[in-house]
Structure 1
């Protein structure tokens, strides 16, 4: 009987398999092995990081722009320190939502609008009634998907290294015990403190 862990490794390398299917299979493995850290991470990737801090690979940097009715979107400067802070944003969307944003983009950037209160603050700072938004390069969103796939592979390879393969979709009690030392740190998932950057994205609306 085949091993679910080895099957997961093969699936990660198969470009025809959608990442949401990989996440579900990895979630099945983590739940059967009772690896709570990895199960939580996989669930957050599938459903979104609602009200939670995000891993470091989901913290992106964009360009602050304002919409000029005559010239379109133009760069906005509020001072280097302020621009640097505002331009960094955590992405809380599920992987499927991120893929949808990428597919609906023109290949250049994705626009993230600020919450209304923050938009008003920015407009007061520049002294003009120009709607601000953060423009994120699409390749940064693509990287979130790529990093997620790599970490799923790291998880499956780590299980094999520990001798945890399973038989079909079942794992032995001994394998469950071996898996209990696996945590976020095993596959290098660093949770970010959003205290500095949450204000640039919480409640934001994302569009092309």
Structure 2
């Protein structure tokens, strides 16, 4: 007989299933199980977050570039500790269908206009930018990181359901299965509860709020970066665009180390872990994940 939860697990490893279809099926299961926290999380992922706070994995890192009417795009170089660097950490609030369409586009680099208030800040710091078009530029593969992170949460959740004996035979869940589901605490890949402020976090402006940890070891992070780069050089049969995307994240991570920016470093490490795993570079994925786990 068909078991809905097992079907979901198969969909998680089926590369032909779209992210939107997968997330919709997971939402269907969460609703049938009356598992509100998971259903709410998936509904936000599918529809978008609007004015709501977002998970930390939905932040991407961008580079600002400016151009005159007929000139080329030129990067805006921001000095260390420049107050504008915080705006390079951009929240992605769109729903999964829109994110998936961006990722499936032919453009490797996505550009997004900045809002007028930020343009005025640039003008104040550099008057020559007043007449130029300023946009945020970022690799579309950062969207893949968002999609893969949610897929991994769904995969872990489906396995958790199976371990609890919740299978959904013939697309139906027994009352016993529903009762068990209601007592479950849903955990995401990073070991944080999906509901409440633990995973959604307290986000203000463009930065995620992460508890400062005085024991954060930037020297250890430098050693980790060296290992990541070594493993990346050894990686074989990996698409060049995926390698380039990881190198871009590593470059941003090095900058975070120079600036002693713990918040940015942690978010970039999550991006690198997810990107490495989705690319099949398990040595990097597991090493970075272990480093992140040691911070908890």
Which TM-score band applies after superposition, normalised by the shorter structure? 0.7 to 0.9
CA distance in 1: counterparts of 2:106 and 2:88, whole angstroms: 19
Pick 1 or 2: higher relative contact order, CA cutoff 8 A, min separation 6. Answer: 1
Alpha-carbon contact 2:78-2:85 (below 8 Å) kept: no
Who is 1:3 aligned against? Answer: 3
**TM-score if structure 1 supplies the norm length?**
0.86
Instruction: Give the alignment of 1:81-120 within 5 angstroms.
Output: 81=81, 82-107=83-108, 109-120=109-120
Shift of 1:182: 3.4
Instruction: Give the alignment of 1:149-160 within 5 angstroms.
Output: 149-160=151-162
Shift of 1:5: 0.4
Who is 1:194 aligned against? Answer: 203
Structure having the higher helix fraction is 2
Shift of 1:31: 0.5
Alpha-carbon contact 2:66-2:135 (below 8 Å) kept: yes
CA distance in 1: counterparts of 2:203 and 2:72, whole angstroms: 31
1:91-137 CA-partner distances (Å, limit 9, x unpaired): 00111111211233422x21121112222222222112222221111
Alpha-carbon contact 1:35-1:183 (below 8 Å) kept: no
Shift of 1:8: 0.6
Q: Mean Cα displacement is larger for which, 20-29 or 65-74?
A: 65-74
Secondary structure of the 1:104 match is coil
**TM-score if structure 2 supplies the norm length?**
0.62
Point out where structure 2 has 5 or more consecutive residues left out of the alignment.
208-296
Who is 1:43 aligned against? Answer: 43
Closer, same or farther: CA 62–33 of 1 in aligned 2, 3 Å: same
CA distance in 2: counterparts of 1:134 and 1:3, whole angstroms: 45
1:159-205 CA-partner distances (Å, limit 9, x unpaired): 0111111221111111112112334535545213221417xxxxxxx
Secondary structure of the 2:148 match is helix
CA distance in 2: counterparts of 1:16 and 1:96, whole angstroms: 15
Counting matched residue pairs gives: 197
Q: Mean Cα displacement is larger for which, 90-99 or 182-191?
A: 182-191
Cα root mean square deviation, aligned: 1.9
CA distance in 2: counterparts of 1:60 and 1:112, whole angstroms: 12
Who is 2:233 aligned against? Answer: none
CA distance in 2: counterparts of 1:78 and 1:100, whole angstroms: 31
Closer, same or farther: CA 16–61 of 1 in aligned 2, 3 Å: same
Secondary structure of the 2:74 match is strand
